[in-house]
Amino acid sequence: MVRQLVALGDRPRVLVRNVAASTALFGDNAEHVAVDLDQDATLGRALDGADRVFILTRQSLRQPDQERSIVEHAVRAGVAHLVKVSVFAADEQSPLRIAQQHGALERVLKRSGIPATILRPTYFMQNLLRAVRAGELRSGVGSGRVAMVDARDVAAAAVAALTGPVGRNTTYTLTGPRALSFDDVADVLTDATGRPVRHRPAAPEGIRAATLRGGYEAWFGDDMARLHALLADGYEDIVTDGVVAATGTAPRALDEFARDFARSLRDAAA
């Protein structure tokens, strides 16, 4: 997202808890402001002078408070446009808690009075960088097909909305160009890395444990086990024109992602 804005000649202000890390990544191309969203006071006047705000937070029980606080600060700062990363099928009645949470937060944006763009992506292709271990892609997805989206296309949709005239008061469901089974995904990764990747079934307990190893809260482990069961039933077996509508460009296919990230995937597959 930052790289794409910089490529357009912008100098975005990034609000991050680790300024050293963002400075190492972006140097003077961005303005770095230390904000820990778990400490509301650090948000202080960080949005003062901002005309557009992009909201992306981590999936935790603190996420609703964090995003509500960002929206309150944005209203106070007179921000003219908000762009939020939500999730596929966000809905307060969803069987997934993460989708309920995002559904409620979408309502907070809509009630803020600030024109908003909501992005609802499916499963990120970048999740595969963590999901593949020792030549195995473990899932509870069975033969269910998933139209994964490249996170770079989510960023492109956000950049288009922030920098162009399109997308105000619009919700985009963002998918990749094809829905693939995880067996097909394993084949694409095998081709791109030159190392065998096999899709293996994982029980809900295994999915829960793998999620917790990523530092997430227990409820999110349960949610991910539930998500895999839904994916097995075709929950994200749907291709939309959201990326084209938002950016004017077709979404990246999985083989392009796999080629671009072949080195990291090869390490994971080894």
Q: In this complex, which beta carbon is closest to ligand NAP, that of residue 18 or of residue 143? A: 18
| Burial profile 168-187: b = 16 or more Cβ within 10 angstroms, e = fewer | eeebbbbbbbebbbbebbbb
**Minimum distance, C-beta of residue 77 to ligand NAP, in the bound complex (Å):** 18
Helix (H, G, I), strand (E, B) or coil at 181: strand
**Minimum distance, C-beta of residue 38 to ligand NAP, in the bound complex (Å):** 4
Task: List Cα–Cα distances, 138 to 143, 196, 253, in angstroms.
Answer: 12, 14, 21
Question: CA 157, CA 12: separation in Å to the nearest integer?
Answer: 16
Q: In this complex, which beta carbon is closest to ligand NAP, that of residue 13 or of residue 195? A: 13
Helix (H, G, I), strand (E, B) or coil at 146: strand
**Minimum distance, C-beta of residue 69 to ligand NAP, in the bound complex (Å):** 11
**Minimum distance, C-beta of residue 194 to ligand NAP, in the bound complex (Å):** 26
Q: In this complex, which beta carbon is closest to ligand NAP, that of residue 35 or of residue 74? A: 35
Residue 267's Cα: distance from chain center in Å? 23
Question: CA 140, CA 150: separation in Å to the nearest integer?
Answer: 21
Question: Binding residues for ligand NAP, per CB under 6 A?
Answer: 17-18, 35-38, 56-59, 85, 87, 98, 121, 123-124, 127
CB 86 within 8 A of CB 105: yes
Q: In this complex, which beta carbon is closest to ligand NAP, that of residue 194 or of residue 232? A: 232
Token look-up 């908003």 returns 116
Question: CA 42, CA 51: separation in Å to the nearest integer?
Answer: 19
Q: In this complex, which beta carbon is closest to ligand NAP, that of residue 19 or of residue 195? A: 19
**Minimum distance, C-beta of residue 231 to ligand NAP, in the bound complex (Å):** 11
Q: In this complex, which beta carbon is closest to ligand NAP, that of residue 58 or of residue 196? A: 58
**Minimum distance, C-beta of residue 56 to ligand NAP, in the bound complex (Å):** 5
Task: List Cα–Cα distances, 56 to 37, 53, 65, 155, 168, in angstroms.
Answer: 11, 10, 13, 11, 17
